[in-house]
Structure 1
Amino acid sequence: MLRHLVRFVVSLGVLLAASFAMLHLIPGDPVRASLGPAAPVELVQARTAALGLDRPLPEQFLTYVGHMLSGDFGTSFITGEPVADVITARLPNTLAIALLATVVSLLVAVPLGMWAAIRTENGRNRGTDAVFSSGTGAAVAVPEFLYAIGLVLVFSLGLQWFPPAGREGAISYVLPVLALAIGPIAMISRISRVETARELGTDYVRLARAKRLPAGRLYLRHVLPNTLTATLTIGGLLLTALIAGSLLVEYVFAWPGLGLKVVESITQKDYPVAQGVILVYGATVLIVNLLVDLVLGVLDPTSAIKES
């Protein structure tokens, strides 16, 4: 646990430095962007000095770290709104579609992978095996934002079943969640299939079949629990990937989450908002990874001993 906590702190420090450096390396003047191209030079210089952007970068970085550690995310260069308020208002929307996509992925992928393993056991149904392998392989390779664009074209602009953008009730969650979930469903179903196939070849399954145990009881009460360890581990890591992957999906659907806001803030050179959102994104991913590692250490202490 101590080793994982140290890694978390170090990773958080790297994240702070990276988020600061990335934005300051992007060409452009954030003050000029916020005041407009017609703003007088004197006003731009005064605003630059007031924001501390005329100071050396190392001094700006130390000030930035000090504010972050004290919980002060600053205020937006463009709107003057506190960054903490922006994050508080938008983070739940991002977490909502990421959590829903994770749940949908697990609920669909685990049974799908088990079904594929049972159908193709001992080399049976080679056609099913080929369709499953090629289909899931292709689905994993397609990025989320392409799914998002395709879903909008088909189900919003074409069939007009769902709203193309914004958050307008429960129905507006369908396409963003589906865009995030398709790839993970394919990936997790492949893992579930491998784990199920391994369990089907064990002695206890052969013994249960010899005793003519009902198939439903065998698969649900015996095979399924033994295949969930690796699947749930991937599911925990999947949540972090979906939080990060939601950025472009939110942009496509104009979803009022952190992803859309970070794209807007980077475009506008709004340093405080972009840095705060990037930091929250990264910290969320690090925290989830830390929790997954700690839970796995509790569930399987031997893995922690081997790692040390």
Structure 2
Amino acid sequence: MTAPSIAEASRTPGAGAGSAGSRYLRHPWVGFSLRRLGGLLLSFAVLVIVTFLIVPLIPGDPAVIAAGEGASPAQIATVRAELGLDLPLLTQFLNYFSGVLRLDMGASFISGEAVSALIFTRFPFTAEIALLAIVLVLAIAVPLGMTVAILTRGGRNRWLDAGFNFVTSLIYSVPQYVVATLLVVVFAVTLRWFPAAGAATLNSLVLPTAALMLGPACVISRIVRRETAAVLEKDYIRTARGWRLGVLRTNARYVLPNLVTTTLTLSGLILAAQLGGAVVIETVFAWPGLGQGIVNAILQRDYPVIRGIILVLGLLATLIIILVDLILAIIDPRNLGGTTHDV
């Protein structure tokens, strides 16, 4: 660019601001944030539509259920008007959507309690066992998978490899409700080490958390073992061993970082799935979380509660996956979906 052209560009109003603005919009973090925000809004829209359609598509008249047995037609009509079920479907949806935006999901047909209050009361119990389970899964599965891969490298200790694969496959293949029942029979009924149900003490956390974590721990440990075995054959690992850096230093500095992306991705997906698995676990252990709440609501046909809990669980699963994507992008900018630039 010649000197006059540089001077002319410098005199052009807004030229520098426009260039900076377009440069900002091309930044990988901007595109990443917009994609994740779009995915969140799309998931929210789908969840709102699906949860709204629960009531119209389920057989039976919610007004009859809410009015109770033996209610007269006049009483049923009054209840239907109070619930807004006599309004056009589009009007009902708009009312429901505006209520969700205000965190007002209606009231329970059975207890009359606000659904939002009910969810806020039960949510900490579900979050407690779900987060504790994922922490234990990572604390157990990653070291276990790495250890087995290191000990069986090069075809050594075949008995350990075979035993590891057999035990993890067996545990993972057993349904969660069967695992939960076995834990109750062995540790609560027979040995009496832990309570069989409820959430009165800290000991009550042990069995539901164990039932929730055993399957995911087996899956992640198997994948970590496979990924570790592949990393151990890389040239840079052979070089590190040739430098005699030591087993612990080599594995901590060169092997473990290459497992972070896979492990975190799977952990996020499993934690999101655990929110659904908690429904079964909480029912077996009478744990007062969202899982038991939705089971009770289904049995009682308490549609506002069903709507609210499904919506919250769906949004939580979406937020967990987005959070994992964010962590992975911070650890490795290549996960942003673009190349990094100096700004």
TM-score by length of 1: 0.93
Tell me which moved more, 159-168 or 177-186.
159-168
Give 1:107's aligned residue.
Answer: 139
Give 1:33's aligned residue.
Answer: 65
Give 2:298's aligned residue.
Answer: 266
CA contact 1:155–1:161 (8 Å) conserved in 2: yes
Answer yes or no: is 1:139 the counterpart of 2:171. yes
Give 2:321's aligned residue.
Answer: 289
Shift of 1:222: 3.2
Alignment deviations for residues 98-125 of structure 1 (CA, whole Å, 9 cap, x no partner): 0000001000101110111012111122
Shift of 1:283: 0.7
Shift of 1:306: 5.8
Alignment deviations for residues 248-299 of structure 1 (CA, whole Å, 9 cap, x no partner): 1111111110111111112212121111111110111111112222332333
- Name the CA distance, whole Å, in 2 between partners of 1:221 and 1:175: 35
Answer yes or no: is 1:172 the counterpart of 2:204. yes
**Aligned to 1:47, which of 46, 69, 79?**
79
Alignment deviations for residues 178-232 of structure 1 (CA, whole Å, 9 cap, x no partner): 0110011001101111121122112232223223332223223432233223112
Answer yes or no: is 1:187 the counterpart of 2:249. no
Structure 2: stretches of 5+ with no match in the other structure: 1-32
The letter of the residue matching 2:287 is: W
The letter of the residue matching 1:219 is: N
Are the structure 2 counterparts of residues 276 and 36 from structure 1 closer, same or farther at C-alpha, using a change threshold of 3 Å?
A: same
Tell me which moved more, 205-214 or 151-160.
205-214
Give the total of aligned pairs: 307
**Aligned to 2:230, which of 198, 202, 227?**
198
- Tell me the C-alpha RMSD between the 2 structures: 1.8
State percent identity of aligned pairs: 47
- Name the CA distance, whole Å, in 2 between partners of 1:40 and 1:165: 40
The letter of the residue matching 2:170 is: A
CA contact 2:54–2:303 (8 Å) conserved in 1: no
- Name the CA distance, whole Å, in 2 between partners of 1:25 and 1:305: 40
**Aligned to 1:277, which of 309, 318, 326?**
309
- Name the CA distance, whole Å, in 2 between partners of 1:133 and 1:192: 12
- Name the CA distance, whole Å, in 1 between partners of 2:90 and 2:169: 46
- Name the CA distance, whole Å, in 2 between partners of 1:255 and 1:170: 12
TM-score by length of 2: 0.84
Give 1:226's aligned residue.
Answer: 258
Give 1:217's aligned residue.
Answer: 249
Alignment deviations for residues 59-100 of structure 1 (CA, whole Å, 9 cap, x no partner): 322221121122211111111111111111110110010000
- Name the CA distance, whole Å, in 2 between partners of 1:210 and 1:88: 56
- Name the CA distance, whole Å, in 1 between partners of 2:134 and 2:211: 12
Give 2:17's aligned residue.
Answer: none
Runs of 4+ with deviation above 4 angstroms: none
Q: Secondary structure at the match of 1:205?
A: helix
Tell me which moved more, 224-233 or 259-268.
224-233
Structure label with greater radius of gyration:
2
Give 2:20's aligned residue.
Answer: none
Give 2:50's aligned residue.
Answer: 18
Give 1:299's aligned residue.
Answer: 331
The letter of the residue matching 1:15 is: L
The 5 Å alignment of 1:152-163 reads: 152-163=184-195
- Name the CA distance, whole Å, in 1 between partners of 2:135 and 2:266: 12
Ranked by relative contact order (alpha carbons within 8 Å, sequence separation 6 or more), the top structure is: 1
The letter of the residue matching 2:61 is: D
Alignment deviations for residues 3-49 of structure 1 (CA, whole Å, 9 cap, x no partner): 22112111111111111223432223333334432222321221111
Are the structure 2 counterparts of residues 211 and 296 from structure 1 closer, same or farther at C-alpha, using a change threshold of 3 Å?
A: closer
Answer yes or no: is 1:254 the counterpart of 2:252. no
Tell me which moved more, 152-161 or 10-19.
152-161
The letter of the residue matching 1:124 is: R
Give 1:62's aligned residue.
Answer: 94
Give 2:148's aligned residue.
Answer: 116
